[in-house]
Structure 1
């Protein structure tokens, strides 16, 4: 009965595939229109490159995901290639979101000052509570990253950057490794079997992604008060939902297929994942229009140039004056400098060149941070061996001297 049931289910899936592809295509079309429109708004009002280059990178996640998913849905043979590209960009988008938060805080220099001020505040409170003099060394320990991240000071920024970059590096390496394993037929996408590479790569990527997200959450917990002007919670939830929905959704479908809840035949698993992503990207595109709006960048903070716009807000209220209601009218007039349009070509060039240089610097820094402890460990091992070699040679010399003295005594 079970084989017939699954064959009927697969047959039903094949019948539903064309209308599902049409529905997904409509959702993707809407996502592309909204995302491209929002990206063009940022490129034409590119007045804060430090923030907007990373906003564009995060927003681009929706059209890239949507395009790759609809291609994979229409042509299942390209599903693995599309999945690899999608996963690589997911890691870059997570890194871009972290850089966006740093830019909103004024750059790395300002973030270091902010974190050191937070650490100094914790130190003052602890000293006032009468803790020991070794509090400074204890408070900088890595264990506080889990319980009191604000006590780490500037080290929190280093951990956060390393957490994001390691995920970007591992995601790219694992994607290339999955492609190579697939060429040899031993990748087994969605197969939880020991002789396939998929379960091992999935475990590594799950740990790496969770660590990157945890680093981002801890950084947000310390800095969220300073980020209130940009409404960080809405941005954080909208971005985090995409990352979790895509990766964990795929893992959940693979687990259900492995336990027989869903049919583990043909391209059902990847097709279902692609269909759900297409629908979700339509919803994400609508959310991005409001969450990552370009309106705050349409006006300049100073009247260096541009068109001055005055806005008057009026509000009516009633005032109690000796048990009599009196109507009052409040007016608030504000002046803002409307910025001129910026060149889309120059905006794209800044995103590619400046953003690329920043990525390379952070990757090199993360690699050096990872290699540093290894080099120190190797150096210590070499020093230990050298010390033992010197000690053993000294012992041999002493033994030879003692033997010579014994021979001299015997001859005497």
Structure 2
């Protein structure tokens, strides 16, 4: 019996499995070593906790992805569990990147001031323009978030934070829901069929991720000039490349399998995804070494403490005065204050405790913002029912009073008629 199309794919998979694991393992090892070296540099020079705690969280995305991908590639039985953990950390890394941008701008209070100042500036300019004279009355409109984000002021920070946290919550919930559906055999990873949960989750997560990234882009568009000292474009592109590559790559492979370009065998689909991620994480690790370098944090301003180093540069210059030549010596001294070494234990403790508290606070705030309108609606409905019940009670009391008065009048009329 001649082998069919999918049998040949199975044979090819068996032939390529071992080389793929070896090559993927080498790339994953490179990604792991480079990322851990970069993280260790930040932990030892932990001089700006407000920024570096989020840098560590973003950079740690690479070893998490690389480790889980090589585990899933070498043992497909753990592919779903690794995919769940990978998705959860992707959402947290996106939130961390947004928090890093806020920290680079000086913190939330400073960001609010910058956004409000930018809003007031734009409103003044629009009022001076006769053709745009009505824009000032619409500065707090949600529609301006899409067309004129710079004029909505501090609301831009609220929308940006809500967009990032909603993705973090939805991604985590969908990851564990996928695990439950897989236990009952109705998840259908990579299957675009109506009786499986995979296509519905893909649509929801796709919309959620696009909204989160759009919020981040709008926030970046307004603040990119203020972020210029940290070279935000390289950081933004390197991070978004990881998020887009992993997500759309998985969806693209699933679509190729659905249209028959690749076999629908689950281990081939997940194996190809894991192998590509291992290679991509090695490239991302190399990029992170330059993009999220720890060198800017290894020196403190002169006003701070630390080891002071001075470098004197001398140069000789020849000056001509008439027919005579005179030599002059120019001397320049550069002073740098080297940051003292930081305990890795203290750095990790600050990242876990302080960073964890910040995440919990933002999640609680976002949930309250989402539940708030619902509570107001329920309260309004209750007040409406209460108002109607009070009105109906008053009407009943008035009817009873009218009946009593009518009865008394009838009695009085009868007594007078008898007399």
Normalised by the length of structure 1, the TM-score is 0.91
- Could you tell me how far apart the structure 1 residues matched to 2:314 and 2:186 are? 68
Is contact 2:127-2:134 (8 Å) kept? no
Q: Does 1:127 align with 2:119?
A: no
Residue 334 of structure 2 aligns to a residue whose secondary structure is strand
Q: 1:331 to 1:374 in 2, by over 3 A?
A: farther
Q: Which residue of 2 aligns with 1:225?
A: 225
| Partner residue, 1:112 | 112
Deviation at 1:410, TM superposition (A): 8.2
Deviations 1:59-100 (A, max 9, x none): 000000000000000000000000000000001100110111
Q: Is it true that 1:292 corresponds to 2:298 in the alignment?
A: no
> Which residues of 2 match residues 11-410 of structure 1 at below 5 A?
11-130=11-130, 135-311=135-311, 333-396=333-396
In structure 2, distance between residues paired with 1:315 and 1:214: 52
Moved more, 352-361 or 60-69: 352-361
SS in 1 for 2:4: helix
CA gap of 1:260–1:350, structure 2 versus 1, over 3 A, is same
Query: When the two structures are aligned, how many residues end up with a matched partner?
Result: 402
* Residues in 2 aligned to 1:149 and 1:23: alpha-carbon distance in whole angstroms: 46
In structure 2, C-alpha distance between the alignment counterparts of 1:170 and 1:283, rounded to whole Å: 28
Q: CA deviation at 1:352?
A: 0.7
Q: CA deviation at 1:332?
A: 6.2
1:287-334 CA-partner distances (Å, limit 9, x unpaired): 000000001011001243322234567999xxxxxxxxxxx9998653
328-337 vs 302-311, greater mean Cα deviation: 328-337
Equivalent-residue separation in structure 2 for 1:200 and 1:21 (angstroms): 32
* Alignment partner, residue 323 of structure 2: none
Q: Unmatched 5+ residue regions in structure 2?
A: 317-327, 414-419
Query: Secondary structure, in 3 states, of the residue corresponding to 1:337?
Result: strand
Instruction: State the shift of 1:406 in Å.
Output: 7.4
Compare 364-373 and 390-399 and name the one that shifted more. Answer: 390-399
Shift of 1:10: 2.3
Partners of 1:364 and 1:24 in 2: how far apart?
Answer: 39
Distance 1:132 1:234 in 2: 35
- In 2: Cα distance, 1:351 partner to 1:170 partner: 24
Q: Which moved more, 1:383-392 or 1:228-237?
A: 383-392
Structure index of larger Rg: 2
- With normalisation by structure 2, the TM-score equals 0.89
* 3-state secondary structure, aligned to 1:335: strand
Structure 1 pair 350/9, CA: closer, same or farther in 2 (3 Å)? Answer: same
Q: Cα distance 1:311–1:263, how it changes in 2: closer, same or farther (>3 A)?
A: farther
Instruction: Compute the displacement of 1:179 (Å).
Output: 1.1
Give how far 1:198 is off: 1.1
Partner Cα separation in structure 2 for residue 29 and residue 10 of structure 1 = 28
Shift, 1:182, TM fit: 1.2
Task: Structure 1: give runs of 5+ residues left out of the alignment.
Answer: 317-327
